[in-house]
Amino acid sequence: MPSIHFKNTFDPDEFGRVMVIHGGYSNERDVSLESGTAILSALKANSINAFGWDPRNESLTNHLEKGVDRAFIALHGKGGEDGLIQGLLESYQIPFTGSGIISSAVAMNKIASKRIFLSENLPVPNYKLLRYKKDLQYAEADLGFPMILKPVSEGSSLGMFKVCQSNELLDAFETVLKYDGIVLAEEYIHGNEITVSILKEKTLPSIKIRTKRDFYDFTAKYESDDTEYICPGFDDEKKEKLYSDLAIKAFNSLKCKGWGRVDFICGQDDSPKILEINTIPGMTKKSLVPKAAAKLGIDFDTLCLNILETSI
C-alpha cells in the first residue's frame, strides 16, 4: 500500500462558522444523528466554531442570520444524498463538503448510476427494473434465484430482500415498491462485499466485509457484533490496486468530489462488480470510512478536518 498523506494540522479560523447538518427526514435519520454528533464533537475538540442543524427540528433562517461560512453535510439518505440539501446550500452560496447537486442525485439513484457505470465499461451485477407485477416473470427468467430486491434510492441496505424462490417474489416486490414506486432486482452474487473509501481524490485501504447473515444488511451494519472487517481487504497489492482504480473510475464517472465510498460485491470468480457510490458515508463508531482511515493512522478528528477542508 503506497503511503498517502493528509493534513494533520489546520487553522480553525480558515473555516469560519461551520454548520454540521444531520438528522433530517429520511429512514436513516438515527444513523445521521449519530454521525453528526460524532463529527460535531470532533470539530469542536479542534477549536472549530461549529454548530449543529437538524432540518426536521428548526428553520435554517435562524442560523443564516448569525452567518454560516460552510457546511459539513452528515445527512444520510433522502434529503441529504439526493441533491436536495446541496441545492439549498448552493442557493445561499454556502460551500459544503462532498459532491454537488447532480452527482449526488445520480449516485443516490441506483438505476441512473448503473447506466453511467455501464456506459463507462465498469462492471455491475445483472439487473432488471420492476414496475408492475408482470415484470416479475422477466426478472425470474433473466436473473433466476436467489435474487436481491432493493429500493432505487435508499441507503444502509434499508428495504432490501433476498428472494430465494418464486412464491416469495410478489410479497417482496410489493414491500419494496412502497419506497420509490420502482424496484431494482439484481442477481445475487455469493461472496464478500468490498468497500473503498475516497478522500481528496485518493483511495483509502479497501475493507473486506464478512457477515454471517444472508448479506450485509442494516442489522449486519449497525447492530451485529459478528460482522468482520478486514483492512486492507487484500494481501495481493495488484488486487488492492484493481479495486482502487475501479473506485476512482466509478467516482469520477459520476463527477463526484471531496469524499465518498464505493461499494463492490466480489463473487466466487474473484470478479468485482460495483454496487453503488455513497456520497455521504456514515461516520459512526461502526462506519467504514473511519475504519479505513485508521489503517493509515488517521484518527477520527483528523479525518473530519480533512473532509471539512474539501468544502474550501
Q: Which of 23, 24, 26, 28 is labelled catalytic?
A: 28
Cα dihedral sign, 210-226-218-40: negative
- Is residue 179 flagged as an active site residue? no
Q: Copy the grid coordinates of residue 216.
A: 450485509
**What are the Cα distances from residue 174, in Å, to 6, 53, 130, 288?**
46, 35, 10, 31
28 is catalytic: yes
- Residue 73, beta-bridge partner list: 21
Q: Say whether 229 is catalytic.
A: no
C-alpha cell at 287: 462506519
Selecting among 77, 276, 309, 311, the annotated active-site residue is: 276
Selecting among 187, 240, 263, 309, the annotated active-site residue is 263
Considering the candidates 35, 109, 113, 156, report the single residue annotated as catalytic. Answer: 156
Active-site pick, 278, 287, 306, 311: 278
Beta-strand ranges (E) seen in the chain are 17-21, 49-53, 70-73, 127-130, 147-151, 161-163, 183-187, 192-199, 202-203, 207-210, 228-230, 259-266, 272-278
Which residue among the candidates 260, 261, 309, 311 is catalytic per the annotation?
261
Tell me if residue 282 is catalytic: yes
Catalytic (active site) residue 240:
no
Is the separation of the CB atoms in 279 and 226 below 8 Å?
A: no
Candidates 127, 188, 216, 222; catalytic one:
222
Tell me whether residue 26 is one of the annotated catalytic residues.
Answer: no
- CA distance readout (Å), 61 to 53, 176, 194, 256, 302: 11, 36, 41, 29, 30
| Residue 144 annotated in active site | no
Among candidate residues 52, 83, 159, 282, the one labeled active-site is 282
Query: Is residue 278 annotated as part of the catalytic site, yes or no?
Result: yes
Q: Which residues are catalytic?
A: 28, 156, 222, 261, 263, 276, 278, 282
